[in-house]
Copies of this chain bind each other. A is one copy, B any other.
Amino acid sequence: MSVQGTIAEKNAAYASSFTQGGLPLPPSKHLTIVTCMDARIEPAGQLGIDLGEAHIIRNAGGSAKEALRSVVISQRLLGTREIALFHHTDCGMLTFTTEQLKGIVKESAPGDAAVATEVDKLDFLEFPDIEESVKDDVKFLQDHPLVLEETKITGWTYDVHTGKITQVA
């Protein structure tokens, strides 16, 4: 069965016993999580977050910079006042540089001007060290004029081999 078919079938089972249809839009814990898209990350289970409690922003690496638009919406329109940011061990962002990835993309489509133009617009936001990148991202949020001053911001690493989190900022 295709992934598409699997998703539809598994969702039908989920919906048949769904009982949480009355939850409000604003997160009940006033919390925003920022973390990586990595397939081994599952914030609800790993952090004990129940449905309706927190916004969860995920992108390659768990970049605070890319999360900014969502953080502003989360705080200004939906009342969140705490941010917990996670990067994790064995992250793909540790394995390449933006220049290398631009090279891979351009080599895949030689002479394609649209591909070259579009990829040159991107910064892939990679990092060489997860603790440092967590600290940098926490500082980015703390210092940013659009993030509310009263926000409690913490930074953590998640170990994909042990399932453990460690606070580093």
Using a CB–CB distance below 8 Å, which chain A residues touch chain B? 3-4, 6-15, 18, 20-23, 25-32, 37-42, 44-49, 51-60, 66-70, 72-74, 76-78, 82, 84, 90, 92-93, 95-96, 101, 104-105, 108-109, 112, 114-115, 117-119, 122-125, 144-146, 152, 154, 160-165, 167
**Distance in angstroms between the alpha carbons of A101 and B75 in the assembled complex:** 11
Taking a contact as CB atoms closer than 8 A, the residue among B42, B56, B122, B163 that contacts A69 in the complex is B122
**In the bound complex, do residue B69 and residue A4 qualify as a contact, i.e. CB atoms below 8 Å apart?**
no
- Assuming the A-B contacts A44-B42, A76-B101, A122-B72, are A84 and B29 also in contact, with contact meaning beta carbons closer than 8 angstroms in the complex? no
Interface contacts beyond A9-B48, A60-B73: sample of 16 additional A-B pairs, CB < 8 Å, sorted by A: A8-B165, A8-B167, A10-B47, A11-B47, A15-B165, A21-B161, A25-B40, A39-B53, A41-B56, A59-B66, A60-B69, A60-B70, A69-B123, A76-B104, A77-B95, A118-B144
Shortest Cβ distance from residue A14 to the other chain B in the assembled complex, whole angstroms:
5
